[in-house]
């Protein structure tokens, strides 16, 4: 039998036999090394950038240009991807045409039943290309703005009330609020319905304020029905967002600056302060300049609805009201002293009328409250050197009681053992001193022998129930004779 040589594979590009030393494999076919290049641009290929299509070889760029999706925005950041199919690369100087005969024909999209296909073109939408919006499926190529045809995605897609989809800019122009200043910082954003050449407005905005609600259930400002998309809650009632503004200056309010007025309306903090706050120089936190803008108290009173903020005129039951005025004391204004509740404006010194607090108030034996200075003048010890400063003296001797012998003559003596251990008169908290579980007046808290004023550092309780300084205690009750005491060789108790 005659020898029959093995038949070699033919190169799809040139039709000649391909031998093992020079073969390149792609798409199940063998190619010459010099024929293994792009059919459009002639670039030599390798296994990393080779793409085979119907017996033709292409680099990845030319394959995408020829057979990939067309239009603006396709591909990874390919904003410059155009409709170029590589026509300028088809002809070659040797007369060989690199154009492939495998051009994709325009796809004929089968029409779907009414209401089931793509809302834009009406064709069937398959899973590999579907986009979802308004509860319906769209082709990826049809998923674009209904006005400017910009490609959309889930981030910038806006569903319009006309059952179409738009980009955010076109949606704002067609259906957004009109006028200067709307939008995020858009001071120049205007949306004139005639700006784009329209002869009439594109859409009609419905004013929900014109839909009147039943009495007592609508917006307190306009009385219209308040829907969930625009409601604002204040004073347990629902307001339109556009109606939720200051009654006086019409400033738009929020939960931070809104103040509920006693007339059942809402105000900004500034207007609330002008209408209902205290008036005059110096009110508010450090605001020495806060005044009433030249408006007199009569004019302010005339513009206010009538209400009586003076609770001192509301008389309380006997023994339960403010000790100063007898009026009812409510929780927002109460001050506690001597186990009773006072009005905040009544909680001042009975002598100089200085406002008091828990640090300055002193309960006097006359069942009143005083500041420390007035308490010291009225009930403190008299003479040079008493008090925290050596200059505390009684400057007004006409109405101040005198305690020359340190025995008070005010009130009645207590015989139940709860009075001062020295004079027997009642001891109040502002002046009491304690020793051996007994209370003393501060002025009576002195040595029983030399009458020297005592404190906790030099106090000695004697066996006779009195108190002494250290020297007098030692002379009266200390050891007798020479040598007693710590190193006191000269200590005698003659």
Dihedral sign of CA atoms 10, 15, 19, 22 in order: negative
Task: List the chain pLDDT tens, one digit each, 494 residues.
Answer: 566 667 788 888 888 888 888 888 887 788 888 898 898 888 888 888 888 888 788 898 888 888 877 655 555 444 444 556 666 565 444 444 444 443 444 456 778 888 788 888 888 888 878 888 767 888 888 899 989 988 888 888 888 888 889 998 898 888 877 655 554 444 444 444 444 444 444 445 566 667 888 888 888 888 888 887 788 887 678 888 888 899 899 988 888 888 888 888 889 998 988 888 776 555 544 444 444 455 566 766 676 665 556 667 788 888 888 888 888 888 778 888 777 888 888 899 999 988 888 888 888 888 888 898 898 888 877 655 555 444 444 455 444 443 444 445 556 676 676 788 888 888 888 788 888 778 888 888 899 999 888 888 888 888 888 899 989 998 888 887 766 654 444 444 54
* DSSP per-residue string spanning 220-270: TTT-B---GGGEEEETTEEEETTT-B-TTT--B--TTT-EE-TTS-EE-HH
Structural domains in the chain, CATH included, are: 9-67 (2.10.110.10), 111-177 (2.10.110.10), 211-276 (2.10.110.10), 316-379 (2.10.110.10), 432-477 (2.10.110.10)
Half-sphere exposure of 430 (CA within 13 A, CB side): 25
Note if the pTM is more than 0.85: no
Q: How far are the Cα atoms of 14, 35, 38, 39, 98 from residue 18, in angstroms, in the given order?
A: 10, 10, 18, 19, 21
Dihedral sign of CA atoms 205, 210, 214, 218 in order: positive
């Amino acid at each position: 039998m005659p020898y029959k040589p093995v038949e070699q594979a033919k190169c799809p590009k040139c039709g000649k036999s391909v031998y093992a030393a020079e073969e390149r494999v792609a798409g199940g076919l063998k190619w010459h090394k010099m024929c293994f290049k792009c059919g459009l641009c002639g670039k030599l290929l390798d296994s990393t950038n080779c793409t085979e299509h119907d017996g033709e070889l292409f680099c990845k760029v030319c394959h995408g240009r020829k057979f990939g999706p067309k239009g603006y925005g396709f591909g990874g950041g390919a904003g410059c991807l155009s409709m170029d199919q590589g026509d300028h690369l088809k002809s070659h100087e040797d007369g060989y045409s690199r154009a492939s005969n495998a051009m994709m024909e325009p796809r004929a999209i089968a029409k779907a039943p009414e209401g089931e296909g793509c809302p834009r073109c009406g064709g069937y939408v398959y899973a590999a290309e579907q986009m979802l919006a308004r509860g319906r499926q769209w082709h990826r190529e049809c998923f674009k703005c209904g006005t400017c045809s910009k490609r959309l995605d889930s981030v910038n897609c806006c569903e319009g009330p006309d059952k179409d989809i738009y980009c955010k800019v076109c949606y704002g122009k067609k259906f957004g609020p009109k006028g200067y200043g709307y939008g995020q910082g858009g001071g120049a954003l205007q949306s004139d319905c005639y700006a784009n050449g329209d002869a009439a407005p594109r859409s009609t905005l419905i004013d929900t304020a014109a839909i009147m609600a039943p009495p007592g259930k609508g917006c307190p400002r306009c009385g219209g029905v308040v829907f969930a998309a625009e409601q604002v809650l204040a004073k347990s009632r629902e307001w339109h967002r556009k109606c939720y503004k200051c009654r006086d200056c019409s400033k738009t309010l929020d939960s931070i600056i809104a103040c509920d007025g006693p007339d059942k309306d809402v105000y900004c903090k500034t207007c609330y302060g002008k209408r209902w706050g205290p008036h005059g120089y110096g009110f508010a936190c450090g605001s020495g300049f806060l005044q009433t803008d030249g408006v007199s108290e009569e004019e302010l009173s005339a513009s206010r609805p009538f209400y009586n903020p003076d609770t001192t005129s509301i008389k309380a039951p006997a023994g339960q009201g403010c000790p100063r005025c007898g009026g009812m004391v409510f929780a927002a204004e109460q001050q506690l002293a001597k186990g009773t509740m006072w009005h905040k404006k009544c909680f001042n010194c009975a002598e100089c009328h200085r406002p008091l607090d828990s640090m300055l108030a002193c309960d006097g034996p006359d069942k009143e409250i005083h500041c420390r200075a007035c308490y010291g003048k009225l009930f403190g010890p008299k003479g040079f050197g008493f008090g925290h400063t050596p200059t505390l003296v009684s400057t007004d001797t006409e109405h101040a009681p005198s305690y020359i012998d340190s025995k008070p003559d005010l009130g009645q003596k207590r015989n139940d053992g709860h009075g001062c251990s020295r004079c027997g008169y009642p001891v109040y908290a502002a002046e009491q001193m304690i020793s051996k579980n007994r209370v003393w007046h501060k002025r009576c808290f002195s040595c029983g022998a030399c009458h020297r004023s005592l404190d906790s550092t030099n106090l000695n309780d004697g066996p006779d129930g009195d108190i002494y300084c250290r020297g007098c205690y030692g002379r009266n009750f200390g050891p007798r004779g020479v040598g007693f005491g710590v190193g006191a060789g000269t200590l005698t108790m003659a």
